[in-house]
Structure formats: C-alpha cells, structure tokens
Amino acid sequence: MMRSTVIAALVSAAPMMALAQTADELKNDEKTPGDVLTYGMGYSQNRFSPLTHINRDNVKRLVPAWSYSMADNRGQEAQALVKDGIIYLTDHEKTVALDALSGKQIWKSVIEYPADTTRVVCCGIVNRGAAMFDGKLFRTTLDAHVIALDLKTGKEVWRTKSADPKDGYSMTGAPLVANGVVIAGVAGAEFGHRGYLEGFDPESGKSLWRTYTIPAKGEPGSETWPVTPLPTAAARPGSPAPTTPSSISFSGGPAIPRHGIRSIGWAITFTPTRFSPFNPRPARWSGTIR
C-alpha cells in the first residue's frame, strides 16, 4: 500500500524545498494528488489517487528508478508523505527526507530511546507514519513521546512526553492534524492501561487535552465498565496488582470527520490473553470482545 501511494504521488511531483502547509491544504489533500500530506491520502483515508498517468494498460512497464535502504531489519509499516517533490518516511528509530526523483537523502533525524522500551511495545517495533503542518513534521516514538521536526532541516523543534513505557504505554501510530491540533493515540492495551487520544499544540508541543476511551470510576459511562482487579501476576514485580476495567482499550490512529469540526477516535476494547512484561507467570486473562 505504501509503495502504490508513493508511485501515485510521484507522477506529478517536482523536487523543491517543502513550504509550510495550511489547514486548507490538509483538508483538500485528496483533491491534490501531486502531494500526499495526510495519513490515508486525505481525511477520508480512502488511500485513493485519481491520477491516470499509470493505468491497467501501462502499469506492467513500471520499473525501479532508484532504491533507498532504511538500514533496519524491523518492520517498515509507515505510509510515506510527499510534499513539493520530497518524500518523508519514518521507522521506529529514524525519520528521513528524500528527493523524489533521485532518491538522494536530504536529511535524516535519528531517534534514541531506552533499550528496555522494546519490552513493552504493542504491535511490533515499528512506526506507521507522520503528519505535517505549518512547516513541521510530527511523529510518535516507541517510548511514548510526540516530536516535531523542521521540514527543511530535520532538526527537532520540540519533544513532549505523553506517557511512561514502564506503565505499558507506547506510540506507533501516525498523528493527524485537525483544526490546528496535532492528535496522537497510544498503543499497549494488552498491558492493562487506559487507551487515550491526546491533542498537542503544533507550535510548542504543549498538551492541550486528553480523552480516554474508557471512563474512570465516577465518569459518565463508567457504570458500563465494572472495575475488577487483575490477577496479581499481571502486576510488575514489586508493584501491587492494578485495578482496571474488565475490558481494556486500545487506541489506534485517530479518525478525523470530513468537516474537521472535532476529532474522534476509534478504539478496540478487549481483555488480553497473552503474556506481557506485567504478566511474568502463565496466568491467563479471559473475557469477551466488544
């Protein structure tokens, strides 16, 4: 999917240094196939390009023009973004900007995180992409940070800690920007935390709000999530068994309504039945999928 997305965008791309993006450009992303400015090629996330240069008759004549190695043997799951002839790619440890026509690296920004972070990562040691807005590229990190990079240089503009990996949180999803807010979700539901979406100021990285996908005790809707203690084995060594809703939330990439009025997120709720760093003994959790 990533490869076809890149090909569709590169057909009309012209290499030049990227400029700042506006909210209107993001809203119209699916109507401007020369660029890919958002995850999913538009807020509808249809991943569809109306370009006709490549069709069923000539697709067989496509051949590689260049190649670039991310130099990592982990999963490569990120969707590329393309702006003004420059491709932006991410993986779990780096972000790169490449000239679309030559494949030449323009800049590379390396991410460092504690080695033990990989013990608590949900869903693979990967990253699924970035967001761009107003001259910055936004991405998440395995150790649950959201960072902003300068589009022209790759230099870090700000870094905000959203959660602690020791509590089972990680971030692998691609952020989205809506109404001038950078929105990111968390991974790691099998480790017993409450999933959430968080909004950040794109200029400073300041957290603006956080919305949990499962209500805490006393919050609206909490009566539908009975609180029961998890087995002692589910607690980290040296810590008490946590108390959490009987079903646990996993927040994926946020979805943005077509009109961009407010942000919403999707969540999968389930009770884990696999081992984790918080579940060192072979205790099994059971429950139902909702």
Q: Using one digit for the tens of pLDDT, what is the confidence trace for 44-100?
A: 989 888 889 999 999 999 999 999 999 998 889 999 999 999 999 999 999 999 999
Read off the pLDDT of residues 133-153 as tens digits, 9 standing for 90 and up. 999 999 999 999 999 999 999
- pTM comes to 0.74
- pLDDT for residue 228: 54
Res 203 pLDDT > 80: yes
- Cα torsion 189, 195, 197, 202: sign: negative
- Residue ranges of domains in the chain, CATH in brackets: 2-58+76-270 (2.140.10.10)
Separation between Cα atoms, residue 234 and residue 211, nearest integer Å: 25
Q: What is the mean pLDDT of the chain?
A: 77
Tokens of 254: 């946020």
Token pair for 41 = 């090629």
Rounded to an integer, what distance in angstroms lies between the CA atom of residue 30 and that of residue 36?
A: 8
